[in-house]
């Protein structure tokens, strides 16, 4: 059931990048749209993840993330510390998501059928996962979502949230235990054994 999932590396994200965030920010602030495009592509998952931690709806979170980039684009020239673009964007996302939260009533997202998992079962999992995530404090919820939904590295998460990678690691470790209990892993594991 878990075939195809690779282990998540700790902090490899930045090594592959050609230009740093600071360089891209400065270029974009000077009017270079392509540089802003790079920033968009690099941090889109981060923006969706942070929005999702508040909004409980993937589609709404994507809308909030896109609106956050509009805000970021309009106010990029006021960013005082270009190296901290990710952290700054995260703050914008939280504000935008809060605005969305007040604009749209709290709801459960509609269940869409997937090839592997049919409606009622998915609905049950969604409720379980949501309730499990609600047990976590906001920062930890963001970390968990960025890690397991966005697939961000420890280093990327730590830069976005302004905390150390060690802290990310520690919080993830603790949250796994909490989530395991909440998700009643035994049942899931048995399903795995049975090939379900």
Partner 1 sequence: MEGSKDMNASFGDEDLAQCFLEDLGKPPQPDFAAWKEKNPVALEFLGKLPTGSNFPGRGLVKPIGLVGAFMILAVSVLFFLWPVGLDKSAFATSIPGIDDPITITWTTTFYVKATSKDGERSWIYPERRLYSYRHPGQYRETRLDMEGKPYAVEVNDSRVGRSLYIDLKEKKALLKFPSQTYDSRGPFAWVGEAIRDRMVAKSLPVKSVSMQGKKEFEKKQVNVIRAMIDEGNADGVQRRDFYFDEATKNLMGIWMPNKSDFNWEAATDKNNKPEKEFSMMIPLGSMVHEIDLNPKVEAKDFALDPPTGFKLEKGVKPTVTEEEMIVYLGAAAKFQDGIFPDSPFAAFDSAKFLVASKLPEGNQTFAQKEMIAQHGKFLMREIYRSPVQQFVDDQTVAGSFHYVGSGAKIDDARQIVCWYRLKGSSRPRAVFADLKIKEVDSSELPFDLKK
Q: Could you give the C-alpha distances from 181 to 10, 146, 174, 177, 185, in angstroms and in order?
A: 25, 20, 11, 6, 7
Q: Which is nearer to partner 1, 81 or 104 (CB)?
A: 81
Minimum CB separation of residue 62 from partner 1 in Å reads 6
**Which residue ranges make up the site for partner 1 (CB under 8 A)?**
1-2, 5, 7-8, 26, 28-33, 36-37, 40-41, 44-45, 48, 52, 58, 62, 65-66, 69-71, 73-80, 114, 116-117, 122, 125-126, 129, 135, 137-138, 144-145, 147-151, 174, 176-181, 183, 185-186, 188-189
Angle between helices 138-148 and 33-55 (to 10 degrees): 120
Minimum CB separation of residue 104 from partner 1 in Å reads 18
Minimum CB separation of residue 151 from partner 1 in Å reads 5
Q: Which is nearer to partner 1, 97 or 147 (CB)?
A: 147
Q: Which is nearer to partner 1, 15 or 78 (CB)?
A: 78
**Phi then psi dihedrals of residue 151, to 5 deg:** 70, 25
Sort residue 110 into left (φ over 0), alpha (ψ -120 to 50) or beta. Answer: beta
CB distance 143 to 132 below 8 Å:
no
Q: Which is nearer to partner 1, 91 or 104 (CB)?
A: 91
d(CA 54, CA 65): 12
């Amino acid at each position: 059931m878990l075939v195809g999932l690779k282990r998540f590396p700790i902090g490899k994200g930045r090594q592959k990048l050609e230009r740093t965030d600071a360089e891209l920010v400065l270029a974009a602030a000077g009017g270079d749209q392509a540089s802003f495009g790079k920033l968009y592509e690099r941090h889109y998952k981060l923006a969706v993840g942070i929005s999702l931690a508040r909004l409980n709806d993937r589609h709404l979170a994507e809308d909030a993330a896109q609106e956050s980039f509009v805000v970021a684009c309009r106010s990029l020239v006021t960013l005082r510390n270009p190296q901290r673009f990710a952290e700054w964007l995260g703050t914008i996302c939280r504000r935008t998501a809060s605005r969305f939260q007040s604009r749209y009533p709290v709801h459960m997202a509609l269940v869409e059928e997937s090839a592997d998992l049919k409606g009622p079962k998915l609905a049950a999992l969604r409720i379980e996962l949501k309730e499990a995530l609600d047990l976590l404090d906001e920062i930890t919820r963001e970390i968990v979502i960025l890690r397991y939904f966005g697939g961000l590295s420890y280093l990327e998460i730590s830069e976005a949230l302004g905390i150390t990678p060690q802290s990310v690691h520690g919080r993830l470790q603790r949250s796994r235990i909490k989530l395991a209990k909440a998700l009643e892993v035994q049942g899931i594991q048995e399903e795995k054994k049975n090939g379900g």
